[in-house]
Amino acid sequence: MDIVSHGLYGGVAFGRKNRTSFWLSFFFGIAPDLFSFGLFTIGTWVGLFEHPDWSSGRHPDPSAIPTFVHMLYDTTHSFVIFAFVFGLIWFLRKKPLYELLAWPLHILVDIPTHSAAFFPTPFLWPLSDYTVDGYPWSRPEIFIPNVLLILFLYAWWYRSRSRRESAGRT
C-alpha cells in the first residue's frame, strides 16, 4: 500500500480522539515505510545512494535496493517486533499508547497488497520468513477501491463527528 494511504487508515482508525491523536496515528501508520524506504529515499536525494530505475513502470530489481533497507523493512513490518515495542511502551508508560496500533494495521494492509516479487511483508520476522504473495497495491483493481474506501471512511467520520457536535449544541 502507498505510504499516504497507510497514514490515512491509521488516522481514521486510531486517531479520532483529537488532532494530536490523529497525527500520532498518522505517523505510526506511515512509520514502517518511513523508517525503511524513507531513509533510503533521502539518501538518493543527497547522492548517498543510486536511485533505482523505475522507468520501466515496474518495480526495480530488489537487489538494486541496499541491504539495510531490506533489514529495516523486515524489522518494521513484523508483528513480533511491533508486539515487543507495544509491550515495552505500555510497561514504561503504565498504560497503552493506542495510536501505536496504526503500525500493525499498516502491516495487516501490506500482507495482501505486496507481491513476492517486490518486498513481500515478513509479518512473522524474526521467527519466520513466511510471506504472502499478494496483489500489488499499484494495480487498478486494488488502488481504486483503496482510494474509494478512504474517501468513504473519512466522509463517515466527518458526518458522525458533525452529528455528535450538533447533538451537543442542542
Residue closest to 6 by CA, chosen among 81, 25, 116: 25
- Distance separating alpha carbons of residues 129 and 83, to the nearest angstrom: 17
How high is the pLDDT of residue 58?
Answer: 74
The conformational region for residue 113 under phi > 0 = left, psi -120 to 50 = alpha, else beta, is: alpha
Report the C-alpha gap between 153 and 151 in whole angstroms: 6
pLDDT score at 52: 82
The whole-number pLDDT of residue 163 equals: 79
Separation of first and last alpha carbons in the chain: 42
Per-residue confidence of the chain (170 residues) as pLDDT tens digits?
799 999 999 999 999 999 999 999 999 999 999 999 998 999 999 999 888 877 766 778 888 899 999 999 999 999 999 999 999 999 999 999 999 999 999 999 999 999 998 999 999 999 999 999 999 888 999 999 999 999 999 999 999 887 777 776 65
> In the prediction, which pLDDT does 57 show?
67
Q: CA-CA distance, 26 to 102, in Å (whole number)?
A: 7
**Rg, the chain, Cα only:** 18
3-state DSSP of 150-166 = HHHHHHHHHHHHHHHHH
Residues in CB range of 136: below 8 A, 6 or more apart: 59, 113, 114, 115, 117, 118, 142
- For 51, 82, 142, 162, 163, the CA distances from 169, given in Å and listed in that order, are 54, 41, 41, 11, 10
